[in-house]
Chain A
């Protein structure tokens, strides 16, 4: 049996690996959607309520900012463990890819919210003034001016966030989240199956490259600056 046939005969690679990849994609996909929606909303609120913003609300800005900072200062490895009871209460179990999405979303949404806030802040105040002078409502300014004008930065932030999610999802695998993280741990670390370890790393690298490549393409397409 040559090397290649040996690999094909390894059930960890032929059966467990595709399954783990799907689990990882499910985690990144679901947590990604929630992160983007929640993070975008929080980022917009942060920007709009900031002093000198469209609708300054000091207490809300300070409160939200503090909550985001607290969440961001907890390392993900600790956050996911700390959130086990909450996850169990929310989705009925603390095991599996769906359960992992809870801590993944809570871990990355605040980070994405900050990136959104930064992107929105880069829209020149003159552009917003122009929109206000033309009689735009605040909602119209957010939807028709701030978000479209910040789009290149927002897409780049989404890319960064998704890449981070891929990394976090592997960590989530260690406490029962499933996916490529668990595969690498179970086979590569505990069973010394180097082939699985390497295959996992290669797939993760390809996944990240793919996300970054697609993200960069979209940024280029939406950037008219």
Chain B
């Protein structure tokens, strides 16, 4: 029986959703606002909301001081490369776990997830030494590998969840029609799981874009992405809040725009299989 939704309830729910949405968005809004202030206005108490002389000075300084495009390009390569590589590895892995499970599949899934529970700094030295040994320090390929590996458990888990929703009988029918394993995954499974794969790609792209431990510790001048660009404007001795906000706004703008345009796919993918 459908539940009657009263207008009052609708208003309350909408207001609550807006309030939570604005609360979550506020730090981003404040960062963007601060980027248009002078350093003195940025620390003003009481805080200035609109009544200040808007300036583009911080953006000009940041542009002059840093090669933004190089950082941006590195971010695109690292986030894109690690996500594509991760999907290539995770699709067959998730397929086998979803459709050919063994007695230990659940344990393997949990074990994979458990690697996410280790604080990154705990393996800083082993990873650094490996990078030194294989000449991977400050290279994009090294970072693509690391970012792919740290996000792989999430990619496998997400794809596994989506694949579980697809009836095994369809794949079975394809096999009976003579489809090879490659054809089964490429032409039957993948098209059916497109919403799930799309949201996995988006989420992992965002995670890789925002990753700020390995991208700071394994890079120097050549492969540093936007996280290093932001870190270069933070300081415990000197007020750089306005410039830091301008740098942050420039760093999050691409991913914010991407998220905005793909929010439908993201929500659809994340809620895929949540309601039966």
Q: Do A and B come from one complex?
A: no
> A-contacting residues of B (Cβ < 8 Å)?
none
A residues lining the B interface (CB < 8 Å): none
